[in-house]
């Protein structure tokens, strides 16, 4: 047998059907009070449901996440988080939304709570990327790793129906 060292990522994972019901508790555990909710334009309705559910705990909704995280979008989201006094970001969606959260965290140290609706996997890595002038720049930094990930299979059922049977 060979010796090895495994460095585990320090994320908290909440998994289960209906686990979205623990969202308020998970925000509390982050010590946060005012979340900026992130989504793509296509998932704005789903993000709005979170906003409605959280009420006064939401600083605002930023439904402009895009593939490859354009640096302009990341800056706009960062500025919006600061303007609204957000103390955490909730990224609901796939890799694009999680990537936007990571870009915000890189510059603000805001904790990210990821709620994946796809099987992208980026919510479990400290790898980030932004695109500027057509060039994607990537890196690795522990500050961008979402502090909490809520996996609720009810949110991925529509996606699973289209991909798992292919």
Mean pLDDT by 10 residues, the chain (166 residues): 70 92 97 98 96 97 98 98 98 97 95 94 94 96 95 78 45
Q: Which domain holds residue 149?
A: 19-159
Residue 46 lies in a domain: yes
Burial 3-25 (b: 16+ CB within 10 A, else e): eeeeeeeebeebeeeebbeebee
pLDDT, residue 120, reads 84
Give residue 9's pLDDT: 74
Output phi, psi for 145, to 5 deg.
Answer: -70, 125
- Name the CA dihedral angle for 154, 157, 158, 159, rounded to a multiple of 10 degrees: 120
CATH assignment at residue 106:
3.40.50.1970
Distance CA 94, CA 42 (A): 11
Is residue 80 within 8 A of residue 62, CB to CB? The reply is yes
Q: Please count the structural domains in the chain.
A: 1
12 part of a folded domain: no
**pLDDT tens-digit profile of 63-103?**
999 999 999 999 999 999 999 999 999 999 999 999 999 99
């Amino acid at each position: 047998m060979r010796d090895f060292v495994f460095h585990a990522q320090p994320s908290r994972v909440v998994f289960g059907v209906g686990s979205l019901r623990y969202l308020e508790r998970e925000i509390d555990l982050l010590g946060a009070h005012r979340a900026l909710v992130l989504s793509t334009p296509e998932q704005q309705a789903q993000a709005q449901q979170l906003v409605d559910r959280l009420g006064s705990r939401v600083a605002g909704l930023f439904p402009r996440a895009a593939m490859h995280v354009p640096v302009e979008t990341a800056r706009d989201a960062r500025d919006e988080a600061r303007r609204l006094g957000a103390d955490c970001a909730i990224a609901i969606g796939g890799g694009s939304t999680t990537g936007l959260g990571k870009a915000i965290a890189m510059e603000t140290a805001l904790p990210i709570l990821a709620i994946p609706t796809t099987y992208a996997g980026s919510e479990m890595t400290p790898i980030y990327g932004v695109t500027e002038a057509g060039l994607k720049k990537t890196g690795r930094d522990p500050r961008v790793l979402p502090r909490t990930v809520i996996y609720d299979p009810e949110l991925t059922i529509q996606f699973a129906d289209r991909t798992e049977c292919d």
